Structure formats: C-alpha cells, structure tokens
C-alpha cells in the first residue's frame, strides 16, 4: 500500500473506512463478544497460515 501524502488524508480515509466497516459488519450483533473474538482470531490465523505458505 502506498503511503498517504498527509496525515489529514490518512485520517479521512480511516474515518470513512471505519464507518463503512461498522455499517456493513452485521455479524458483530449476532454473536456474543467471546464468540466474535474467537471467530475473528480463527479467521486471522487461517489467513496468516495461507499467506505464509
């Protein structure tokens, strides 16, 4: 990923990306916090293993 030209561009991108992610992340409300964290950890682990291979 290319670097942002200014901190302001980075902040604008992060703000928009976060709001969009929260808007479309309906899975979060269907699980308890513990189950959500376990599913997220499993997905990240699987992705890291796939990337390492």
Locate the domains of the chain by residue range.
7-52
Task: Give the single-character DSSP code of 5.
Answer: S
Contact 20, 12 (CB under 8 A): no
What's this model's pTM, rounded to 2 decimal places? 0.43
Q: Estimate to the nearest angstrom the gap between the alpha carbon of 34 and the chain centroid.
A: 17
DSSP code for 31: S
pLDDT in tens, 1-53: 568 888 898 888 888 888 887 777 666 667 787 888 888 899 989 988 888 87
Compute the distance between CA of residue 26 and CA of residue 24 in angstroms, rounded to an integer.
Answer: 6
Task: Please enumerate in sequence order all residues whose Cβ is within 8 A of that of 28, keeping only pairs 6 or more positions apart, or say none.
Answer: 36
């Amino acid at each position: 990923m290319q670097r942002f030209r200014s901190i302001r561009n980075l902040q604008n991108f992060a703000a928009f990306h976060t709001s969009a992610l929260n808007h479309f992340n309906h899975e979060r409300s269907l699980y308890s916090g513990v189950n959500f964290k376990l599913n997220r950890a499993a997905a990240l682990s699987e992705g890291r293993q796939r990337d390492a291979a």
